DNA sequence: CCTATCATGTAATCCGTTACATGATTAT
DNA sequence: ATAATCATGTAACGGATTACATGATAGG
């Protein structure tokens, strides 16, 4: 049983396994794409390596399908739940970093209008996507994802307003 | 002359060297801390290794102090300026990722009130800091940093409003 | 003087990205 | 059948973080 450090990626995998139950890496990929991936992207390769990493420390258990493709299936263990809970319970004063490429360019003197011309449609499209997700969300979705989505919507609105003002 | 890939870190170093002229790694660290570091943090070690990396590809030139400590000094080269300009000119449709630890916890079911209790003061403090910087900014500061700061202020306001409603 | 803190670096580790590769399904 | 796409992985590389270390300066 190895000691490993738990990263945000680890908690995403643990959290999704808790929400969705036993899953394959590809299943996790689908889950990420439709939810947390909007504000925290992961490479698909990580969804193969991270569960394996978590397994070496006992946070998840790997099984394989018997017949056919013998795909890997991962399930969260009791220890995994405990780690996830500890993380969720601990408070953070850590602040978000606005690591936005466009903002960095703006900072270093890029033409605001040119940036805005690209950012406005991209942000509008993203906002529309969020609103569509919100309006078609099944009733059984827990509050966490709803609230995170709400933050996403607000952020997009703020970004659009900002770039529109810059564009004049 | 090696080929290297230019990362956001690279552009931060190049951009700061353009703004401030020849600098030591420690000088860069100070510059980052007071400006771009608010929305894009760097480890101090990177301000030693990244200029060295950039030097191998000719984007910056390294010299050393003659006497005393023989500290390393870095200056942007013509090629560095060109690379910086190309980057600044190219538009991005890439969107920001809201990689906020607190938001991730919220997504996965953490108690909103507990999170808010930690986030609100932290965000308020950050906002106050931003406003203080804005209000004491010398007149010769270029528009880029001003505009980026403005975005930071808006983001903080949105975050505060969001967490306050959750705490409500 | 002594000790914090500031300043300057190096080395090792490791996570995340990128690239490569191939098996299974579905559509034409 | 064949091509395209979906699904499932592995391997290499490299940038970022972390840890270690030491020299200079200032404060008490």
DSSP states along A101-124: HHHHHHHTT--HHHHHHHHHHHHH
pLDDT in tens, A97-108: 889 999 999 999
The reported pLDDT for the residue numbered A92 is 84
pLDDT in tens, A29-60: 999 998 999 999 999 999 999 999 999 999 99
Phi and psi dihedrals of B44, rounded to 5?
-60, -30
pLDDT at B31 over 70: yes
The reported pLDDT for the residue numbered A2 is 83
Residue B27 contacts A, CB cutoff 8 Å: no
Judged by CB atoms closer than 8 Å, whether chains meet at B40 and A158 is answered as: no
pLDDT at A65 over 80: no
The reported pLDDT for the residue numbered A33 is 92
The reported pLDDT for the residue numbered A66 is 72
Strand segments (E) across chain B: 60-64, 72-76
Distance (Å, whole) CA A18 – CA B84:
45
Residue A107 contacts B, CB cutoff 8 Å: yes
Distance A29 CA to C28 C1' (A): 29
Q: What is the mean pLDDT of chain B?
A: 94
Model confidence at B1, pLDDT cuts 50, 70, 90, reads confident
Tell me which chain A residue has its CA closest to the CA of residue B16.
A108
* Number of alpha carbons in the 13 Å side-chain half-sphere of residue A37: 13
Residue B114 contacts A, CB cutoff 8 Å: yes
B107 close to A15: Cβ distance less than 8 angstroms = yes
pLDDT in tens, A112-149: 999 999 999 999 999 999 999 999 999 999 999 999 99
The reported pLDDT for the residue numbered A67 is 65
The reported pLDDT for the residue numbered B67 is 65
Distance B75 CA to D10 C1' (A): 42
Distance (Å, whole) CA B83 – CA B126:
33
Which of A12, A92, A98 lies nearest to residue B102, judging by beta carbons? A92
Segment B38-42 mean pLDDT: 93
Instruction: Extract the tokens encoding B45.
Output: 């070690």
Judged by CB atoms closer than 8 Å, whether chains meet at A109 and B98 is answered as: no
Distance B133 CA to C21 C1' (A): 53
Maximal CA-CA distance, chain B: 62
CA-based R_g, chain B, Å: 19
CB contact set of A78 (below 8 Å; sequence gap of 6+): none
Distance A25 CA to D7 C1' (A): 10
B9 close to B28: Cβ distance less than 8 angstroms = no
Distance (Å, whole) CA A98 – CA A37:
16
From chain A, pick out residues whose CB is under 8 angstroms from the CB of B126: 95
A44 touches strand D (CB under 7 A): yes
Q: Which fold has domain B8-89?
A: Arc Repressor Mutant, subunit A (1.10.10)
Model confidence at A1, pLDDT cuts 50, 70, 90, reads confident
Q: At what angle do helices A25-33 and A46-56 cross, to 10 degrees?
A: 120
The reported pLDDT for the residue numbered B20 is 95
B8 close to A67: Cβ distance less than 8 angstroms = no
Distance (Å, whole) CA B148 – CA A103:
6
Q: At what angle do helices B78-89 and B8-20 cross, to 10 degrees?
A: 120
Which positions in strand D are less than 7 Å from the protein's CB atoms? 7-11, 14-19, 23-24
CB contact set of A91 (below 8 Å; sequence gap of 6+): B114, B115, B117, B118
Q: What pTM does this model have?
A: 0.94
Judged by CB atoms closer than 8 Å, whether chains meet at A114 and B91 is answered as: yes
Q: A83, A86, A28, A87: which is closest to A52 by C-alpha?
A: A28
pLDDT in tens, A68-100: 677 899 999 999 999 999 999 998 888 888 899
Question: Where are the domains positioned within chain B?
Answer: 8-89, 101-167
pLDDT at A19 over 80: yes
């Amino acid at each position: 049983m190895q000691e490993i450090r738990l990263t945000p990626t680890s908690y995403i995998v643990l959290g999704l396994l808790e929400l969705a139950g036993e899953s394959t890496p590809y299943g996790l990929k689908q889950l990420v794409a439709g939810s947390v991936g909007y504000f925290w992207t992961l490479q698909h390769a990580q969804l193969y390596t991270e569960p394996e990493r978590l397994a070496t420390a006992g946070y998840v258990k790997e099984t394989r399908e018997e017949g056919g493709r013998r795909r890997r299936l991962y399930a969260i263990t009791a220890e995994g739940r405990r780690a996830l809970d500890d993380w969720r319970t601990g408070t953070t004063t850590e602040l978000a970093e606005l690591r936005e490429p466009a903002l960095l360019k703006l900072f270093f003197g890029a033409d605001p209008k040119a940036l805005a011309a690209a950012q406005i449609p991209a942000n509008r499209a993203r906002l529309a996507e969020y609103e569509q997700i919100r309006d078609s969300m099944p009733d059984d979705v827990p509050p966490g994802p709803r609230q995170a989505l709400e933050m996403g919507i607000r952020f997009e609105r703020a970004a659009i307003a900002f770039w529109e003002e810059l564009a004049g």
